Each structure stands twice: as C-alpha cells, then as structure tokens.
Amino acid sequence: MSKRTVFITGASGGIGRAIAKRFIVDGYKTILHYNTHKNRVKELKDEMESEGYEDMYVFGANLTNPKELDTLVKRLEKDDIVIDVLINNAGIKMDAKIDDMTDDQFKSVIETNVTGTFMLTKRFIPMMKQQNYGRIINISSGLAQHGSVGKINYGASKAAVENMTKNLAYELGPYGITVNTVAPGLIETEMTKDVTDKEKEAYIQKIPIRRLVEGKDVAQVCAFFADERSGSISNQVVGVNGGLR
Ligand SMILES: NC(=O)c1ccc[n+]([C@@H]2O[C@H](COP(=O)([O-])OP(=O)(O)OC[C@H]3O[C@@H](n4cnc5c(N)ncnc54)[C@H](OP(=O)(O)O)[C@@H]3O)[C@@H](O)[C@H]2O)c1
C-alpha cells in the first residue's frame, strides 16, 4: 500500500512544525505549507532529510486569497498529489478589548481562521470524495469554549471552527471522510510570545498536570485522528491542555 499524504497548513509555525515532524517520522508523504515564512519549512525539510527522511514538499499560499488556493490545487493536480489527511492548523490572533478592537482586527481573524479554513477545505474535499477516504483535522483552541479578555475575535473564530467540524462530519461521513478537532491549551510559540512569565505561571497553577503542553502533544492526537484505523471516530473535540476544563 502506498504512503498516505498529509497537508499541514502553517507548518512554518510552532505547532505546525511539531505536527509535521511527527507525520514525517510516521512515514507520511508530507506537504509543508507556509504563508510568509518559506525559509522555516525549507529548514525543516532540510533538517529531516539530513536525518534520512524523504517525501516532503513545500507549498505556499495565503489562505485568505482564493486565487492562490486555486493555484495550489492545480499544482497538486499537476504533481499527481492526492491529499488523504488535511490538518487545518494555520491561524492568527489579534488581541484587543472590545473598545480598542478595530473592525479590521475582528474581520482579519475571522477571515484567516474561519473563511481561510473553509476555502482550503472546500477545495480539497473533491479529492477525498473521489477516493472515498479522508481525514480532516481542525485545530481550534480551549478558548473556543472558555471566555477570556481581549479575544472576542479569536474565541469566536475557534468556536466557528469547532462548529464547522460538527457540520462537516455529518456532510462528509458518507464519503469515508472523518472530521475532528484538536483544541490545544497555551503552547509556547510565536503566537503566544506576548504572554508574560507571570501569566504563564498563573496558568500552570490551574492545569492539573502543572506544566504547559507542547506542539508534540497536539501532534499525538492528530496522528491518532489521521490513522486509517480511526475511521469510526468523527465529530470529536479532544482538548490537549493537561486536563484543564
Ligand atoms: N500557541 C498556542 O497557545 C495555541 C493554543 C491553541 C490553539 N492554537 C492554534 O494552533 C494553530 C497554530 O498556532 P501556533 O501557536 O503554531 O502559531 P504560529 O507559530 O504563529 O504559526 C501560525 C501559522 O499560521 C500561518 N498563517 C497565518 N496566517 C496565514 C494565512 N493568511 N494564510 C496561510 N497561513 C497563515 C503562519 O504562516 P507563516 O508564518 O508562513 O506566515 C504560521 O505557519 C493556530 O490555529 C492557533 O490558533 C495555538
């Protein structure tokens, strides 16, 4: 049986990189997606190749640009690449309390995290339907379910991602496609570099395991959802948060 192929959005970011490493090591043909940081995915590819791994491909596209997504799909078709597993990991945050949050800050986060996820997923579904097989894994956040301060745009976007999972699981189940969500807690990446040590410490004290989780912990759940043997598991949300609820 040939290798399964995984497409990881935002493999140039902290969590995406950890997910990508896991799937490369697990033997998947891996598409490393980036938006602005091509150098980061190229470095990852070089690093993994130096360790003897192969079958990695680098694809760039801005998820908010439908033309770039159309071009990406054409390039996949031209290269005879069929996606079995899509991990919608790319995302942004632009925090501000409501008095200070601009309309553009609100719209940008929704456009990237929700509309971008929709536009890419929609373009990959025909490939999955045609082979009657697919695994879609959406990365939301604990903030999809919990309130916070300064995150109305981000929280709303992640709640929308979780709801998209629910609807898509029903729509796509008959085609052998599962759709699941992984909801991480705070993980140290570029996205969270503004979180102070004091805030981190306070957060850790609330977590049952008393430590932050890492990208590789998110990758662990993604690997489980992506597995061929996980075909009965759809429409689930798994928190990767050290037990914080
Ligand atoms: N870190 C956390 O504590 C945490 C917690 C819960 C959930 N999450 C979620 O986990 C995911 C990954 O977060 P992270 O912490 O790894 O963040 P990160 O290091 O900032 O990475 C974000 C990734 O998203 C990509 N991206 C941003 N805008 C894009 C666009 N318009 N089109 C295509 N790609 C775009 C970036 O690509 P370029 O760098 O190439 O531009 C980058 O690869 C996000 O969905 C985030 O909301 C993170």
**Domain limits at 98?**
5-240
Q: Is residue 102 part of a domain?
A: yes
Is residue 37 in contact with ligand 1, taking CB distance under 6 Å? Answer: yes
pLDDT tens per residue across span 50-75: 999 999 999 999 999 999 999 999 99
pLDDT computed for residue 41 by the predictor: 98
Q: How far apart are CA 171 and CA 174, in angstroms?
A: 7
- Is 48 within the bounds of a domain? yes
Rg from Cα positions in the chain: 17
Tell me if 203 is assigned to some domain: yes
Phi, psi (degrees; rounded to nearest 5) at 45: -60, -45
- As for how many domains the chain has, the answer is 1
Ligand 1 atom, smallest distance to 188 CA: 1
155 lines ligand 1 (CB under 6 A): no
The secondary structure of 112-154, three-state, reads: HHHHHHHHHHHHHHHHHHHHCCEEEEEECCHHHCCCCCCCHHH
Looking at residue 189, which CATH number applies to its domain? Answer: 3.40.50.720
SS3 call for 228: helix
Q: How far is the CA of 191 from the centre of ligand 1 (A)?
A: 7
Q: Percent of the chain having pLDDT more than 90?
A: 99
What's the pTM value of the predicted model, to 2 decimals?
0.98
| Ligand 1 contact via 64 beta carbon (within 6 Å) | yes
Structure confidence at residue 99 (pLDDT): 98
pLDDT tens-place string over residues 231-243:
999 999 999 999 9
Nearest ligand 1 atom to the CA of 112 is 31
Q: What is the pLDDT of residue 108?
A: 98
Please tell me the distance between residue 119's alpha carbon and the centre of ligand 1 in angstroms: 17
* Ligand 1 centroid from CA 102, angstroms: 21
The answer as to whether 55 is a domain residue is: yes
User: What is the secondary structure of 158-209 as a DSSP string?
Assistant: HHHHHHHHHHHHHHHGGGTEEEEEEEE----SGGGTTS-HHHHHHHHHHSTT
Q: What is the pLDDT of residue 2?
A: 76
Percent of the chain with pLDDT over 70: 100
41 Cβ inside 6 Å of ligand 1? no
Burial of 235 (0-12, 13-18, 19+ CB in 10 A): middle
Which pLDDT belongs to residue 1?
A: 58
Tell me the pLDDT tens digit for each residue of 145-193: 999 999 999 999 999 999 999 999 999 999 999 999 999 999 999 999 9
Name the catalytic one among 28, 34, 133, 154: 154
Residue 7, φ and ψ in degrees, nearest 5: -115, 120
Atom nearest to 191 CA in ligand 1:
20
Q: What is the average per-residue pLDDT within 10-35?
A: 98
Residue 214 lies in a domain: yes
Query: Average model confidence (pLDDT) for the chain?
Result: 98
In a domain, 192, yes or no: yes
Q: What's residue 180's pLDDT? A: 99
Does the residue 245 lie in any domain? no
pLDDT of residue 76: 97
Question: Is 209's pLDDT higher than 90?
Answer: yes
| Residue 67 belongs to some domain of the structure | yes
Name which residue sits closest to atom 45 of ligand 1, judged by CA.
91
Active site residue 203: no
Segment 110-123 mean pLDDT: 98
Say yes or no: CB of residue 91 within 6 Å of ligand 1.
Answer: yes
**What is the model's pLDDT at position 27?**
98
